[in-house]
Amino acid sequence: MSEHLRHKYSRQDIQAYFFGNPQKISEKILFIKKDDRLDEYKQHIQVIEEFGNVWEGFTGLLRGEDVTIIATGIGPTMVGDCVYSVDKVGAICLYSGTCGGIKIGEIGNYFLAEEAVCGDGFSLMMGYDFLARVKADSRVLKVTEKAFQSVGKRIIKGTSFTTSSVTRETDEDFWRMVPDDCAAIEMGCASFYSAALASSKKPVAFFWISDLPLGRKSFFDVLTEIDRNKKQNARELSVGTELQILGQV
């Protein structure tokens, strides 16, 4: 890349393009997966200022404090690029979503990712080797854990495996790549951590377990009525839970 191109665009230019030049992004940001759920979060927020171009979101007041909610889209590259493009050094960044439980946990349980294994591809662009590990911000992680305890939510802490392929999960050799100590599998945590840390933000990711890929309760399999109810209940409660956590970090 030429020196001219390398220095042509500032961080502010990049943010303005991807987010439609938002007037305000707060010091606390919650990244969610799907933009069609943004309206659910708006119901709990006051004085909303919307923005969006490639990625959409809004800033508003949560119990009198400025917070920002941004929808990344699904997949490691979408998540990583979205987080990296936000020009907010030092911001506390939470990332929520769903994951598959490996060996431990049940549908509806929350998983707090202390670190993630880079099986995603995007983290290579941030300087991490394939299957390297990237950690959450230690201080924000402790505060987030206490916040979950204060709202009465049971959490599982541990290492997550970030994959870029859902269909590869059906192959036996795929699981030989996943380290034995991984407790969850998802499609964004390593990208989120690597992008946030590379852009001087403070990241922590948490997920609720939506399937058990090694326990015949994956999205490829028909769930029992009990597990379907657990999954629906977790989805319905997730917005309120996430905003309670955001308000305490």
Each of the 249 residues of the chain gets a pLDDT tens digit; together they read 455 555 688 888 999 999 998 888 999 999 999 989 999 999 999 999 999 999 999 999 999 999 999 999 999 999 999 999 999 999 999 999 999 999 888 999 999 999 999 999 999 999 999 999 999 999 999 999 999 999 888 899 999 999 999 888 888 899 999 999 999 999 999 999 999 999 999 999 999 999 888 865 666 677 788 888 888 888 899 999 999 999 999
DSSP E strands, the chain: 28-32, 46-52, 56-62, 65-71, 92-101, 110-119, 133-135, 155-163, 182-186, 202-211
Distance CA 189, CA 2 (A): 32
Amino acid at 89: V
What is the rounded CA–CA span in Å between residue 84 and residue 137?
16
Domains, the chain, ordered by start = 3-248 (3.40.50.1580)
For 198-238, list the strands marked E by DSSP. Answer: 202-211
What are 68's strand-pairing partners?
A: 29, 59
Residue with tokens 């992680």: 141
Q: CB of 161 within 8 A of CB of 117?
A: yes
The pTM (predicted TM-score) of the whole model is 0.93
